[in-house]
Structure 1
């Protein structure tokens, strides 16, 4: 049974992922980046917000990140830590808890970005609201996306093993797929029994 929807869904709000911003070129390690436009989109609602970001990561240990979004003008400290095998990893310093975070969230109704741990039990991920049937559908979709490559997903129930994948991994995906299918089959049988009045 899904949890009652008393908490705010994180995925319906805004997300700042520092590693993804670096991969996309919005921020650059060892450089000061001027203002750049950023847009957040939702798979159902389309574009939900636009803003400007700028960052200074030119220092070795510390920098800053600025997000301007409507009336919000938030400055966030950036901190780097050495990696085990060399190089440095950059993190946001949560403005409330002062803890390192790669991702900051601004859920609907929040006044600023902060870490997931700061928000506590006020928020939840979308998957926490799903019932068993929706989780099974999501699981099947994830397995297909990992196996299918450029094939048509509607053409296959369980796609064939990709050439690069080990048999043990493929067999694990196959077992997970079968468990998800069993959940969906039980759901259909239960629904049919209710419909037929048995």
Structure 2
């Protein structure tokens, strides 16, 4: 299956596992919660719809993070090295060092019982496999929410009017792609 084109459902094939459907660990959320302190241990769990889908034990060290968990009834714990880079105005940013490729990543994804970066795990985002209509529809909903909320007190009217103009252009684009799709359905080409 090729990419792009004018065929029904054209776009990148959605064969890769989607990031939105995998378990992942994110250093940014742990930093916000104050968990990235040397010697600190904590439990982390994932849930979907109020139901727990997985949990791990995490131990933070100066140069690594230990993830303790079981996969298929066997211990599959991993020690992931961490690195830091200085920030422009002081402080440092912490990164995972991918156990497969050695590259820096702030998020690691769990697949086949191991954590690794998105590229090594062959994980993609849903937006990467959508058609042009899907992307336009996503933009439509984002802009619609902004317009419905109204102009914020601090925003200039010219900026808000540009936002309304962009919303109108995206709305026309969505309508055109929908009409094209309906015409293809009626012609039996889909």
Q: Matches of 2:183 and 2:88 in 1, distance apart?
A: 57
The runs of 5 or more residues in structure 1 that have no matched partner are 149-155
1:20 aligns with 2:24: no
Q: Matches of 1:175 and 1:38 in 2, distance apart?
A: 43
Residue of structure 1 in register with 2:41 after alignment: 34
1:67 Cα deviation after fit: 4.0
Q: CA RMSD in A?
A: 2.8
- 1:1-198 superposed matches below 5 A: 1-25=10-34, 27-28=35-36, 30-41=37-48, 47=51, 49-57=53-61, 59=62, 62-70=63-71, 71=74, 72-107=76-111, 110-119=112-121, 122-145=122-145, 147=146, 156=148, 159-167=149-157, 169-194=159-184
Work out whether residues 66 and 77 of structure 2, in 8 Å CA contact, stay in contact via their aligned partners in 1.
Answer: no
Residue of structure 2 in register with 1:151 after alignment: none
Change (3 A) 1:50 1:134: same
TM-score (norm 1): 0.73
Q: Matches of 1:103 and 1:174 in 2, distance apart?
A: 35
Cα deviation, 1:129-150, whole Å, max 9, x if unaligned, reads: 21222222211222344x36xx
1:168 Cα deviation after fit: 5.7
Q: Matches of 2:31 and 2:70 in 1, distance apart?
A: 19
TM-score (norm 2): 0.75
> What is the SS of the residue equivalent to 2:102?
coil
Q: Matches of 1:188 and 1:12 in 2, distance apart?
A: 28
Q: Matches of 2:125 and 2:103 in 1, distance apart?
A: 20
